[in-house]
Structure 1
Amino acid sequence: MRLRSVLAPLAATLTAGLAAATCVTAAGPATAHSGPADPPRGHACSPAVSIERFSDALDKTTYEGTFVGNFSALAVDRDGAIAALSDRSSLFTLDPKTLSPRSVVPLADEGGAALDSEGLVVDRDGTRLVSSETEPSVRRYGRDGTLLGRLPVPDALRVAPAGRATSNQTFEALTLLPGGRTLLAGMEGSLSGDTLGVVRLQTWQRQSGQSGHVHRDFRLAAQYGYRTDTGLGLVEAAATPDGRLLVLERGFTVGVGNTVRLYLADLRRATDTSRIDTLTGTLTGHDGVRLVRKTLLADLADCPSLGATAKQPQPNPLLDNIEGMAVTGTTRGALRVLLVSDDNQGATQTTRFYSLRVRP
């Protein structure tokens, strides 16, 4: 996805169509020409991450008869707009300044059925790559929602009995690495036979033709093992400009709330596991498999609450079922990152957007 700084005017412009909604700003409004100021030190979640603001403006709203929520993924469109994917088969376009919906299109599979859509990439030609955790699958759609094609998926990653994956634990994350030639999907849960907590990251490589032109389609490429924290699943990944990954891990405990941690992951020197049937010794390294290296950037429970309220118990009232993430630009060496929570269209959860600054 093309990197643009799209959130700078957010605090100053969340007014017109969304005036009645909640928007809490951690830093003072920035003028259009100056860019955002550094957030106060008191808004640090960790030495590497700070939160600038959050917005509940879209919570429990509708647009053109479609519920606005259930968001599972975000991406930056070629014009700077925010593409927001609902796991109920709807793809919204949001205004980059106000986050108000501009349009919505329905998505469907080859038989016209709804998708459990979880991951989103806007490709260089403007088409949309959408992962579903039902089969799992990665499909390509036009801007109008027309189904254009489908990528191959390794047999082992398919839901049992076709493969070794567990239903609702497959392609939750999707991102395009810098250069646009490598697509990566992250499994939320482990395959049967793999060590619990070790999940697979599958990549596809875009091929060039004889004329040097890059094709639209991708072919299966390397696969990697990634270890999640105990009790957490991998729910999103977003490529950074230097080719590393921001990874969101999330879990939920009844009566306690959500755990959401942001990691920086590095694929370099990780073992290609595409031909390794089961990953069983990777916790000790006895099998020689090198997992993807990860570094904790922040536990979001450590962020200041900024006055947020929660509809159910949470370690921090700012937290909710955070599931979508996009790198929207850079400012003075820091990444500007937008997160969104999936409210599951339920009364105890909130559709909440979070604006972070990350220095990886």
Structure 2
Amino acid sequence: MRAVLALALAVSAQLVAAPPSSAASAPRLGFRITRFLGEQLLAHKMEFDGTVVGGLSGIDRDPRTGTWYFISDDRWRYNPARFYTGALDIDRRTGAFTGVRLTSAITLLRPDGTPYPGYGEPGSADPETIRFDRWSRNLLWGHQGDRPDARDPAIPLSDLFVRWAGRDGRHLGELPLPANLKVTGTDSGPRRDLGFEGLTFAPATIAAVVAGPRYEDGEPPTAGSGAPARITVWGRDGRLRGQYAYPIDPLPAAPIPPDGAARSGVSEILALDDHRYLALERSWIEGVNYKVKLYEIDLRRATDVQDRDGLATGRPYRPVSKRLVMDLENVRAPVQNLESLAWGPRLATGECTLVIGSDDNFDQREVTQFLAFGARGC
């Protein structure tokens, strides 16, 4: 077991007119990983409650009951869009992380009360993130949308959304989206597979992040340059509060071969308070595998870009500041497709627990993994 390293990255804060290639500086904000508590895995394509388990793209916990929620991004390859409930066994006294189990599978329902259709059909859902709301005791989940491309020219347009659901899967409403997140059939708006990936509740706000840049915001990250992703913020009343640019790093390595495929972006966010979040930044690079880093970000000095059609050109703007907390390669190698962040129980030591989970893509070369950490400053 390798020691977890908490690293700090500080670079000069500056205004930018084009997608930033590095993070703006941030003060040391106090969040730090104190220790690694353990790892648990689920069996590949295990069967549970009439479903095939996999593709777990978001997790969260009800602090009152200790129930965990896990959302699958399966688009009816095996079963309809769904989430699971379960438990992660973390000893509050010692911090030992000793087990994971599922307790139920719940189908997500559309406004008309029917399951979401399968991949490639109108109205299909691609669930990528889920949160439990301790105030209403309902769930909020995000769909990253879809659009045709050269590989799948027949895919219908599907707008991004953030929807409320009961713990029984019933549709309970949705949040309004800014016009700049409208999916189109042209080279404008969100790119395919770069819609909502992360979602979080803060004391007075709700925030969601798209994985990568809209067409108007610039090209996706390369080994030489980064790109901006937009974080949208709502009040607890559901009204839009603002939108801020998250500066995705350049690719951490070049593909092998140099013209190979690569993708990098934000796979989840988790609030520390109404201004500070943790952010998972994940890359997949052909010939290299996954690279994942955990950052702490701060929105307080960032420019509200909600009314800006594009970020690649035009007036300068200030992105959110970010500070490196941990490179996941120093915890477990090879790094998995980490897509989930959630708070676990607070320990007797006063430490909070942070759980990071992976989406195995239903691929036998990958795993469904949960990593638990002790932390301070949360």
Q: TM-score, normalised by structure 2?
A: 0.72
Confirm or deny: 8 A CA contact 2:144 2:160 kept in the other structure. Answer: yes
Aligned partner of 1:121 in structure 2 is 131
Identity of aligned residues (%): 30
Q: CA offset at residue 71 of structure 1?
A: 0.5
Confirm or deny: 8 A CA contact 2:267 2:281 kept in the other structure. Answer: yes
Q: CA offset at residue 63 of structure 1?
A: 0.9
Q: CA offset at residue 121 of structure 1?
A: 1.4
The 2-side partners of 1:96 and 1:56 are apart by 11
Question: What is the count of residue pairs matched by the alignment?
Answer: 292
Q: Which moved more, 1:154-163 or 1:347-356?
A: 154-163
Q: Confirm or deny that 1:204 pairs with 2:234.
A: yes
Q: CA offset at residue 145 of structure 1?
A: 0.5
Aligned partner of 1:341 in structure 2 is 358
Which one of the candidate residues 165, 168, 173 is aligned to 1:141? 165
Q: CA offset at residue 241 of structure 1?
A: 4.7
Q: CA offset at residue 243 of structure 1?
A: 4.4
Aligned partner of 1:170 in structure 2 is 195
Aligned partner of 1:15 in structure 2 is none
Confirm or deny: 8 A CA contact 2:40 2:100 kept in the other structure. Answer: no
Q: Confirm or deny that 1:82 pairs with 2:68.
A: yes
Which one of the candidate residues 105, 127, 151 is aligned to 2:175? 151
Letter of the 1:108 partner, please give it.
L
Q: CA offset at residue 347 of structure 1?
A: 1.2
Question: Unaligned stretches of 5+ in structure 1?
Answer: 1-25, 27-41, 208-217, 306-315
The 2-side partners of 1:229 and 1:62 are apart by 38
Q: CA separation of 1:159/1:333 partners in 2, compared to 1, >3 Å: closer, same or farther?
A: farther
Q: Which moved more, 1:168-177 or 1:237-246?
A: 237-246
Measured on the aligned residues, the alpha-carbon RMSD in Å equals 2.0
SS in 2 for 1:156: helix
The 1-side partners of 2:43 and 2:375 are apart by 24
Q: CA offset at residue 96 of structure 1?
A: 3.3
Confirm or deny: 8 A CA contact 1:340 1:354 kept in the other structure. Answer: yes
Higher-RCO chain (CA-CA 8 Å, sequence separation at least 6): 2
Q: CA separation of 1:244/1:335 partners in 2, compared to 1, >3 Å: closer, same or farther?
A: farther
Confirm or deny: 8 A CA contact 2:42 2:367 kept in the other structure. Answer: no
Q: Confirm or deny that 1:295 pairs with 2:323.
A: yes
Which one of the candidate residues 213, 233, 242 is aligned to 1:222? 242
The 1-side partners of 2:167 and 2:108 are apart by 10
Confirm or deny: 8 A CA contact 2:44 2:362 kept in the other structure. Answer: no
Q: CA offset at residue 58 of structure 1?
A: 4.2
Confirm or deny: 8 A CA contact 2:162 2:175 kept in the other structure. Answer: yes
Question: Unaligned stretches of 5+ in structure 2?
Answer: 8-31, 75-80, 90-98, 118-124, 146-158, 220-226, 252-263
Q: CA offset at residue 200 of structure 1?
A: 0.5
The 2-side partners of 1:347 and 1:240 are apart by 34
